Chains A and B, each alone.
Chain A
Amino acid sequence: MTALDEIRTILTTVLGDYVLDDVEITRDMSLTEDLGLESIDLVTVGAMLTERYGSQVNLAAFLAEMDIDDVIAMKVGTLVDFVADRSAPSLATER
């Protein structure tokens, strides 16, 4: 499974069933505007990432480097790259 697939699974869980059935999630989709994620949803996403990859994938630390406007405008691709960078090397080549 690629990092994009993993993120897709996580977003499907957060957003609820059906919504993403016919939607091809692409790297340049915005988490808030295109997918409708709210900032509190990021807490759930962060928790699921840690559960899946362990504490080296710390979304909180990653978001700390951004200002609020960047968090609001964050794209799926940014999240995928972050996960690929911090998790097992095997995934990095598959993104």
Chain B
Amino acid sequence: MAILRLAADSRDELLALLAKPSTPEPARGRSAFRLGIVDPTEKKRALARKVITGGKPWRGRNDVWFSSAPLLAAPGTGMAFVFPGLEAEFAPQITDVAEWLGVPPPVLADSSIGTHAASVVSVGRLLAEALGRLAVWPDALAGHSVGEWAAMIAGGIFSGAEFDEMLARTDLDAIRVPGVQFAVLGCGVEQVRGELAGRAGVVVSHDNSTNQTVACGPDAAVADLIDTLRDQGIICQILPFRSGFHTPMLKPYLAPFEAGVPSLRITRATIPVWSATTAAPFPDDHNAIRELSVRHLLEPVQFRTLIRAMHAAGTTVFVQVGAGQLGSLIDDTLADVEHLTVAANSAHRGGLDQLRRLLTALWVEGADPDFAALEPRTEPVPIPGSAEPLARLRALGSRLPVAREFAALLDDMAGSVATVLAAADRTESDTSLSVSSTTMPYLLDHCFVPQRAGWPEVADRRPVMPATTILAHLMALAQAHAPGQRAIGVEDLRFDRWLIAEPAVQLAVRVRRVGADRVRVALGDYAEGVVLLGPDYPVDVSPAWQPEADERPPALSAEDLYRQRWMFHGPRFQAVTASTAISDSGIRGELTVPTAPGALLDGVGQLLGQWLVERHPTRWIAFPTRMRQVRQHAALPPAGTRVACSVRVRTLTEDTVEADARLTCGGRPLVSITGWCDRRFDSGPRAAAVHRFPEHNTLSEQRPGGWWVMLESSPSLATREFYLRKYLGGAEHREYETCPPPERREWLLRRIVIKDAVRGWLWEHGSGPLFPAEIAVDDSHRTTVSGRHGLRLPELNVAVAVARRVAVAVVGDTTLIGTALHTEMAALDQGRVKEFRQ
């Protein structure tokens, strides 16, 4: 199916291009006037001419898209994937999509509420995978009703594989739900609420859009409500499935559901996932996520409010990841503001054809999807021994009992044969990997916390395996699994937890073949990704990057990066040997291949780090959470080789930065990275000073009255864990973890302020640099402190007190402590203390 794409810098230029009989593919560029037509006929071209002349954006009617100010080009805007839930019509077209992906098509059924829900989720997941393959990546995720589970999987809150295992344990057809009805009402929630006042039994279950609300209740009560509303001219429909989801009526049936999704292993989202229960992003804390996943079952779906909130936060493009009408609800809610909704699937046309429409729509709004990936690469391989005769036999079986038995026997045999063949094909394997600073001594050059020279406890230095070293291991593990093939890239790589190498950890390695040329590799519950395999490295055909127009020399030299401890890397990971040029949207430099595995690509992160240091100094500390696509175009050169590296920032938010990178060696493409995502941390002056030189700096502040104060300005859990690692030795960290979670915050505040007060006292009495780990604290009864590994402390009287977010500590005259706390609390309540910005 042909797609016409035209880009120009003015309306007239675009009209001129459209008038030409044939036009070349548009270059990757920033031209604002964009037109896309799928299957361009003379009629559609005529429509396009009118649309362009009219000048207003046109978003998809008659397969024409036009924009003169692409939505995604505006700063601070982004794209969301929105996963549909259960709808009256369920007819996704995904067979061709599954075939293209090289995976078996999901089995779809809507015979019961359980199978219907499972089918909806599996369609969403399949399409999300397809979108990733097309280089379409979301900045935010959300779902309608059960679609929220698909969003949670896509965002990394729980694993798709564990979700599947949970489903496999569940008899979906046997799930019991209340036998209540849903009525779709063609009016806003306020009108419905007005009508419900004084009626018993019926509640609002979904606030869908400006003009659509769903109510739920027993048949008679729903019928009565519908009669009244229809008299007022309001269109009402009864949905063809029953359940009391998103209402208190589900409560008596809740137990089996609590054993479902809320029972899964839950981690913080790597892409923001929005909850339709709260119309806000999911919290970071896994207990809070679990709690919300239960509320989701019992409380109304606030889809209208959610969409408004996402739009207010910058989402202007909504991709409906499934078939159906969810997009029309978004359009209804956002009727008064600029936005695009586009479906990744449709009941009315082939799956791949609809994906072509989607890519066209996104390209017109400024995205850069991979159109070529949809075009056929290889001839389909015919399957020997076609299944057709078996199908005929089954059909006969419906009339002839003998044929039925024979078909069952054949089915059985085919099953056994498939099991044996699958085992022989080594589609999966489980091994393990030992990670420690002994087996991987190079990790001692990648330590998160500096300590005194000669410090004996390696664990206190927190050697951590960098994301790019994990990547190198995943590729090596995949290649070992597929003899004769080469690991040529990685997709959808996630880093869920810090992989601390001391004490040593033994990691389970799971390798699963997920396609002819790809295997999914998981390293414990730390990281996972899909490794691409091939006979040889793919040629990079994309045009070379031109230097940005606003480039200038960076303020920091490569040497400064390490000497001034902007980067904590030791020699075996110091990849940057020259910082060449910096601009508002990127940075260029020279890397020299270091000796440690993965250290070359770590240099990409270091250059991105330098860009943040110089361009966004209040939140420059950042660590990778995800990489969408890494492609290697040649074998990595030996240590000492010089490699040119360009980093382009795609999006920057308060919490994340996402960049693309190109590495070339001698002018030839070496590695290209799309969607390198870092999580950003608070790094105001005080926090940054502690991060770089903890032996000279404190998180707490000293007060003239003679005490120290530590104020927590409700930072995220991620930020708290960050400081925890800076301040606590290995043994203290274990002590922290034995604390019940609600007490941890206070425990940590106490510990930080004690260490700072003691270090402060020692500095005043002539001490040199002191690292937080050098102070041991016994805070169990009376607070006492002592020195570790050679630090001698005099007998010190220490007092500490905590209330709400304030911790104070005194060394010496401990009678001050009451006054100290009182003064700080009063100051906080009166707003006299500036919020302590870390």
Binding site for B on A (CB under 8 A): 15-19, 21-22, 33, 36, 38-44, 46-47, 50, 55, 58-61, 63-64, 68, 71-72
Contact = CB atoms under 8 A, between A and B. Distances in A.
Contact of A40 (B50, B89, B233, B328): B328
B89 A59 contact: no
Contact of A68 (B58, B88, B233): B88
Interface residues of B, number: 33
Nearest to A64: B230
A61 B229 CA distance: 10
Contacts of A72: 89
Given A18-B54, A21-B50, A60-B230, A39 B61 contact: no
B61 A40 contact: no
B235 A16 contact: no
Contacts of A42: 186, 235
B325 A40 contact: yes
A38 B325 contact: yes
Contact of A19 (B47, B240, B329): B47
Contacts of A68: 88-89, 237, 240
B421 to A, nearest CB: 42
Contacts of A50: 233
A58 B325 contact: no
A38 B328 contact: yes
Given A18-B50, A40-B186, A41-B328, 12 more contacts: A15-B61, A16-B58, A21-B50, A22-B43, A40-B209, A40-B211, A40-B212, A40-B325, A40-B329, A40-B332, A59-B235, A61-B233
Interface in B594-619: none
A53 B631 CA distance: 63
Closest 9 CB pairs of A and B: A38-B328, A43-B186, A60-B235, A40-B328, A60-B230, A43-B211, A18-B50, A68-B88, A58-B233
Contacts, number: 74
Nearest to A50: B233
26 contacts: A16-B61, A17-B54, A18-B47, A18-B54, A21-B47, A21-B50, A22-B46, A22-B47, A36-B61, A38-B325, A40-B328, A40-B329, A40-B331, A43-B212, A44-B211, A46-B186, A58-B230, A58-B233, A59-B233, A60-B232, A60-B235, A60-B236, A61-B233, A63-B235, A68-B88, A72-B89
B719 interface: no
Nearest to B56: A17
Contacts of A18: 47, 50-51, 54
A60 B229 contact: yes
B348 interface: yes
A72 B329 CA distance: 16
Contacts of B61: 15-16, 19, 36
B62 interface: yes
A61 B232 CA distance: 9
Nearest to A63: B235
Contacts of A38: 325, 328
A30 to B, nearest CB: 10
Nearest to B226: A64
Given A38-B328, A68-B88, A60 B186 contact: yes
Contacts of B211: 40, 43-44
B237 A19 contact: no
Nearest to A57: B233
A43 B328 CA distance: 12
B51 A60 contact: no
A80 B264 CA distance: 53
B234 interface: yes
A21 B226 CA distance: 38
Contacts of B89: 68, 72
Contact of B237 (A44, A61, A63): A63
A61 to B, nearest CB: 5
Contacts of A15: 61
Interface string B193-237: 000000000000000010110000000000000100111111111
Among A22, A42, A43, A68, max chain B CB count under 10 A is at: A43
A55 B209 contact: no
